[in-house]
Amino acid sequence: MGVNWGVERMTRSATQAVEEATQAFREERQVHQFIDDMADGTAQKQEEKKKRQEEKKGKDTTEQPPDPATQEALDKIEKGEGGDITVLGVISKKLGRSIVIVDENGKTVNIIGDASDKKAIVIKHTPGGEGHWEPGKGDKAVEVSGEKNCLYDAIMAQVDGAKLGLKSGQDLRQEVLQTFQDNPDMARELFKAADTLP
């Protein structure tokens, strides 16, 4: 009776741990799906807004300036600080590919975009200090384009920069910054959504 009780208790504990981990993963995926959906919806809204603006020719169609928190995030990108989940979301959309983030042991910790994307870009994040990013699989050569550009460089090592009109991770950083500057409403929404990440 004692052995059976112990086995049942261990099984319940293991089952509970798996259920909790699965729930945490689902919640995280929902947040990332929300960011993906918002980026898609915001891009559509931006296109519709530009159409309306073109139709109103001659009227004042100035964009709202970014709020202070969004401007601070844009300044960090421009000044060369490390990237975050919002940057990865924009890069994923721009490239039309999912991004899989793995830890230093190769375990998937985040997926931005479609989890079934066979051409997903895999990047490894090593925490500590400011953290470090590198290609997550294979022996991709990384061309270092500048200090704190490791996220952008790790992605560029896995894409055809020439097809994208990009030569380096620094070019990719500038592309992301330009996307946010051209779409201040999208930037505001994405940075606000990122603040809600656990």
* 128 within domain boundaries: yes
Q: Between 28 and 165, whose confidence is greater?
A: 165
Residue among 173, 136, 135 at smallest CA distance from 157: 135
Q: Between 4 and 190, whose confidence is greater?
A: 190
Query: pLDDT tens across 88-120, in order?
Result: 888 898 889 999 999 989 999 989 888 899 999
* 21 within domain boundaries: yes
When pLDDT is cut at 50, 70 and 90, the band that residue 9 belongs to is low
When pLDDT is cut at 50, 70 and 90, the band that residue 40 belongs to is low
pLDDT higher than threshold 90 for residue 174: yes
When pLDDT is cut at 50, 70 and 90, the band that residue 198 belongs to is very low
pLDDT higher than threshold 90 for residue 18: no
Do β-strands 99-102 and 108-112 pair in parallel, antiparallel, or remain unpaired?
A: antiparallel
Query: pLDDT tens across 145-167, in order?
Result: 888 899 999 999 999 988 889 99
Query: pLDDT tens across 44-72, in order?
Result: 656 666 666 666 555 454 566 677 878 88
CB-neighbour burial class of residue 158 (10 A; exposed 0-12, middle 13-18, buried 19+)? buried
* 30 within domain boundaries: yes
* 137 within domain boundaries: yes
* 61 within domain boundaries: no
Contacts (Cβ under 8 Å, ≥6 apart) of 192: 69, 70
* 113 within domain boundaries: yes
pLDDT of residue 152: 93
pTM of the predicted model as reported, rounded to 2 decimal places = 0.67
Domain that holds residue 76: 1-54+71-198
Do β-strands 132-135 and 108-112 pair in parallel, antiparallel, or remain unpaired?
A: unpaired
* 20 within domain boundaries: yes
Structure tokens at 26: 């689902």
Helices (H), the chain: 2-55, 68-78, 85-95, 150-156, 161-164, 169-182, 184-194
CB-neighbour burial class of residue 37 (10 A; exposed 0-12, middle 13-18, buried 19+)? exposed
* 134 within domain boundaries: yes
Count of domains for the chain: 1
